[in-house]
Amino acid sequence: MGFTPLDWFVLAGYFVLLFGIAWWVILKNKDTADDYFLAGRNLGWWIVGASIFASNIGSEHLVGLAGSGATDGVAMAHYELHAWCLLMLGWIFVPFFSRSKVFTMPEFLEKRFSPTNRWVLSIISLVGYVLTKIAVGIFAGGVVFRTLLPEMHLDLGFMVMDSFWVGSFLVIILTGIYTVLGGLRAVAYTEAVQTIVLVFGSILVTIFGLKALGGWGPLREICGSDMFNLWKPLIPAGVEGTWKPVLEKGRMAWYFNGNYPWLGMLICAPIIGLWYWCTDQYIVQRALGARNEKQGRRGSIFAAFLKLLPVFIFIIPGMICFALAKSGKVQELTQALYTNGEIDTVKAQASFPLLVKAVLPPGIKGIVVAGLLAALMSSLSGVFNASSTLFTMDFYSKIKKNVSQHQLVWMGRIATTVMVVIGLLWIPVIQGARGLYHYLQSVQGYLAPPIFVVFFLGVFWKRLNSKGCLSALIVGFVLGIFRLAVDTPVKLIKGFDYQQGSFLWIINHIYFQYYSIIIFIVCVIVMIVVSYCTSKPSYEKLSGLTYGTITEEHRLLTRSSWDWRDVTASVLVIVAIIAAYLYFTG
């Protein structure tokens, strides 16, 4: 890796600072559920915003987003430019969540609908965390270590672990220590530090990468206009026909294997974005821990500003890595990314750490590798804490009544450990996927639509009831899990595929974004139809939980929590997003 003593000193200093802060927080913690899971509801806006950003900008960006930049250009920037979704969190949902004083998103769903809906959503959320955030975080940690320290190995006597698995376990252990002991307060404060290190380090990678390439002009020239265009065509180059009819044994299906076409990005990406930023426990838990509604909103707006950075500090470095490899300016990158004259999608997942290894001068690598580890650890610590909160507050506390605060905290720690083990077992499926970020978005696309539907329709439409919500959750979850079950053998077993034209083959070949849209439409119809075929909910019990049941007192309280500064900051975020879309549309 070419580390100098200065690099090792910087890296060691980062860990000393990180664990020093974590230890300070642990000493301040009280042995209560409110303090462990929500930091005593006393986080300021800066900590809330930085923590949201650090939790989001993790392993899938270091490895997956940079990898997608190397193979598909700015196509995935749509997901990053959905910073406006954070404005929706701050302006629309934070007031509801703040008034309800809930620990979890399923708990809010219980207050809006029923207890049954609460535990169903908890199950869906936990399944999603294990299959996406935990497994992806562990996998990405392994990729980074395998790229930067390929010679690392550990001989256990009965087996030898290579650098991939050594790195995966190291990331888990280091993150788990302070997360399990310190709870959300330790997670939030360490993430604030990790945000600074991550952003600064990633900016350095972009700067030195462009310097090695010769500037922005050569990057555009080598990558071409297609890689700089956000809006991909419905018909990729070389594919005959957008919708290809397949006749097999009298059956006909319409399918499309796309490359992030504009139709999917226009409809599916916002569904996933609004679910993730406004209703996912992993993200919203930071807003729940805010001191009040004002701090929660301002934290969301601050996170929206930070969310604009990944296009330039992750996607662009991935494209720089591709350009350096294609041009032959850095032979090490050409050999690492190309197979038989074509860029290898699997190898491209290591674009960011490869660029770190190839272009950074001595003394700078320590800072950037600290940023890499910060992203890996922050994303994992966030999901560990969110998962333990869901399991403990939505399952354990309901099953075991009158349990002590101390027991709740310890059960949260045990739950985290179990889910990490399950995540490790799922890694082989990710290894068989097209790309890490593609895998992440596809799984989220299968699980997000029903949650998005019940929260958004539930807040805006007071007539919808618990039976409609439960039906939409179950139907959507079954459709999503069915698609995952169909896809898994294809990814897990090399060379496996279903008989062409068969029902399972058709399902497997429907582009993931279109399948997500199908789930969304079905859930909307099911929730509305079932709700109107059954009795109305009690509007008195919904006071403050929907727009139709907000009281004048609620309105005055919310109005007093914002001023012109919040509005101006939000407008600036929108202007920046529009500017980015205009630049990357050509």
Dump the DSSP string for 502-534.
SHHHHHHHS-HHHHHHHHHHHHHHHHHHHHHHS
- Cα dist from 431 to 115, 135, 159, 315, 562, whole Å: 37, 11, 21, 21, 46
Nearest to 184 by CA among 36, 50, 296: 36
Q: What is the pLDDT of residue 535?
A: 93
Nearest to 359 by CA among 324, 319, 326: 324
Q: What is the pLDDT of residue 567?
A: 94
Mean pLDDT over residues 577-583, rounded?
Answer: 90
Mean pLDDT over residues 456-471, rounded?
Answer: 93
Highest-pLDDT range among 33-37, 190-194, 501-505: 501-505
- Record the tokens describing residue 374, joined without a space: 């910060």
Dump the DSSP string for 25-69.
HHHH--SSHHHHHHGGG-B-HHHHHHHHHHHHSSHIIIIIIHHHH
Distance CA 93, CA 452 (A): 13
User: Which residue spans within 49-187 are E strands per DSSP?
Assistant: 154-155, 160-161
For the chain, the average pLDDT equals 78
Q: What is the pLDDT of residue 247?
A: 38
Nearest to 195 by CA among 15, 51, 352, 45: 51
Under 8 Å between Cβ of 52 and 208:
no
Confidence of residue 326 (pLDDT cuts 50, 70, 90): confident
Under 8 Å between Cβ of 48 and 289:
yes
What 3-state class would DSSP assign to 271?
Answer: helix
- Record the tokens describing residue 149, joined without a space: 């320290």
pLDDT in tens, 264-274: 788 888 898 89
**pLDDT higher at 287 or 298:** 298
Query: In residues, how long is the chain?
Result: 586
Give the residues across from 236 on adjacent strands. Answer: none
Q: What is the pLDDT of residue 185?
A: 62
Instruction: Please provide residue 197's backbone torsions phi and psi, each rounded to the nearest 5 degrees.
Output: -65, -45
Whether the pLDDT of residue 85 is over 70: the answer is: yes
459 burial level (CB within 10 Å; 0-12, 13-18, 19+): buried
Placement of tokens 């939000």 in the chain: 570
Q: What is the pLDDT of residue 571?
A: 96
What interhelical angle do 5-28 and 365-391 show, nearest 10?
30
Under 8 Å between Cβ of 264 and 511:
yes
E strand or H helix that includes residue 398: helix 397-399
What 3-state class would DSSP assign to 338?
Answer: strand
Q: What is the pLDDT of residue 570?
A: 95
Nearest to 426 by CA among 216, 138, 193: 138
**pLDDT higher at 444 or 400:** 444
Mean pLDDT over residues 161-188, rounded?
Answer: 66
Mean pLDDT over residues 341-345, rounded?
Answer: 75
Instruction: Please provide residue 363's backbone torsions phi and psi, each rounded to the nearest 5 degrees.
Output: 95, -25
pLDDT in tens, 240-285: 443 444 434 333 334 444 566 777 788 888 898 899 888 887 788 7
Q: What is the pLDDT of residue 435?
A: 55
Placement of tokens 């796309």 in the chain: 258
Distance CA 212, CA 307 (A): 26
- Record the tokens describing residue 584, joined without a space: 């990357």
Distance CA 505, CA 500 (A): 6
What 3-state class would DSSP assign to 474?
Answer: helix
CATH of domain 5-31+44-257+291-430+549-583: 1.20.1730.10
Q: What is the pLDDT of residue 284?
A: 84
Instruction: Please provide residue 379's backbone torsions phi and psi, each rounded to the nearest 5 degrees.
Output: -70, -40
Q: What is the pLDDT of residue 250?
A: 36
What is the Rg, in whole angstroms, of the alpha carbon atoms belonging to the chain?
23
Nearest to 193 by CA among 360, 344, 37, 46: 46
Under 8 Å between Cβ of 311 and 74:
yes
**pLDDT higher at 359 or 185:** 359
Mean pLDDT over residues 292-321, rounded?
Answer: 89
- Record the tokens describing residue 540, joined without a space: 């008195």
Whether the pLDDT of residue 394 is over 70: the answer is: yes
What pairing do the DSSP bridges indicate for beta strands 251-255 and 244-248? antiparallel
Under 8 Å between Cβ of 545 and 100:
yes
Under 8 Å between Cβ of 314 and 199:
no
Whether the pLDDT of residue 198 is over 50: the answer is: yes
Distance CA 208, CA 206 (A): 6
Under 8 Å between Cβ of 53 and 195:
yes
**pLDDT higher at 470 or 49:** 470
For residue 82, what is the DSSP state? T
Nearest to 524 by CA among 535, 532, 534, 513: 532
